[in-house]
Amino acid sequence: MIPFLLALAPLVPLQQAATHAHALHVARLLDVESGKILTNATVLVQGERIIAVNPKEIPAGTEVLELGDRTLLPGLIDCHTHLTSDLLGEWVTREVHETAADEALRGAMYARITLLAGFTTVRDVGSGGFADVALMKAIDAGWIPGPRMFPAGHAIGITGGHADTTGYAPGILERGPAQGIADGVDQVIEAVRQQVKHGAKVIKTCATAGVLSFEGPVGAQQYSDEELVALVTEAHRHGLKVAAHAHGTEGIKAAVRAGVDSIEHGSMLDDEAIALMKQHGTFLVPTDYLTERMDMNALPAPIRKKAEYVLPLAQASHAKAIAAGVKIAFGTDAAVYPHGENAHEFETLVHRGMKPLDAIRSATLNACELLGVSDRGSISAGKLADLVAVPGNPLDDVRVLQHVEFVMKGGVVVKGP
């Protein structure tokens, strides 16, 4: 067997990858749609697409990659990342001494780390100065390695709320709809249009107060019902889905009634909120691993107090939602803890009551449904050749997903033989 090289393989220009053919042979292949493990499987890849699974013959000139005693899965999808951010150093005051260029360069580093961890697609839910859009464009152009991205641009929220920057003297970092800070129906609509104009592929709003900010009670509803309806209506008019940061119960309900596509975090769910989410088909993106992993010592005292209050509530809410059958899409809030640890989310989802297969589906089939894409998320003919391989069988031990040993994105091997 060809030895594995765990460093990033040299970038292959997209035009060269377009005609290259691979045959991947592996001991096990997980069919996420049927839930079955196929043994002694071969996947034929031409250019950026899967051509066949277990073809009768391999065309002459095809490069055969022997993946050995591993399990092949679709490339993983994280629906809640912040690639341009982290909680290192003076992160609290970073906004006043950095630019969008700094964010984008930091994002380039973390995009590579995320791709090597097996995540070939991410929904990136908020950064400054459209650094996430620039990062997406650089990745798509082949300038830097990274996952396929659905960037949000600026998160949209109220003045002084979770999407805003508070605590500085008047005149410092005062922002408006172009930067996502909007009050009233007219400004909310303008804020959505500004994000769309500059390249957002999803709209992120803050329906409630948050943890990593200095505004008031962590669960308080911030946008009115009318503002939320206006935001969702405008986003959907442009064909974009809406992700709503929401910790508190009433804000969650208001966002679901307004028609958001996903609730991010969902820390304080009651029976009515769960029933509403099921009725509307709203996804929950739990970001559960952070409830165990967040470095409390990196948090200023007021923020730490909020975190210590809300995180245990979140764990209980996620378990309740999973037991009730709320649709779950995989998301991590990577940046709140180190990028590259994204796959630890699978283990915590299992701890909250999901079966390993369902946890994996949350990062494949379910994530595709939330993103509104059908060209990835399973290993079948016609899909993008976004593939990962792990040691062992993830249906027996989901923790093996923390040890991705092979990554292919669009037919190009970025980690492996």
Residue numbers annotated as active site? 204, 333
**Can you tell me the distance from the alpha carbon of 274 to that of 249, in angstroms, rounded to the nearest whole number?**
10
Instruction: Identify the residue whose tokens are 């029933």.
Output: 275
Question: The tokens of 139 are what?
Answer: 């990745």
DSSP 91: G
Which helix (H) or strand (E) covers residue 217, if one does? none
Half-sphere exposure of 269 (CA within 13 A, CB side): 29
**Can you tell me the distance from the alpha carbon of 50 to that of 155, in angstroms, rounded to the nearest whole number?**
35
Neighbours of 340 (CB within 10 A): 18
DSSP annotation string for 118-184:
TEEEEEE---STTHHHHHHHHHHTTSS---EEEE--SPBB-TTSTTS--SSPTTSS---GGGTB--H
- Please report, to the nearest 10 degrees, the dihedral formed by the alpha carbons of residues 359, 375, 387, 61 taken in order: 160
**Can you tell me the distance from the alpha carbon of 271 to that of 281, in angstroms, rounded to the nearest whole number?**
15
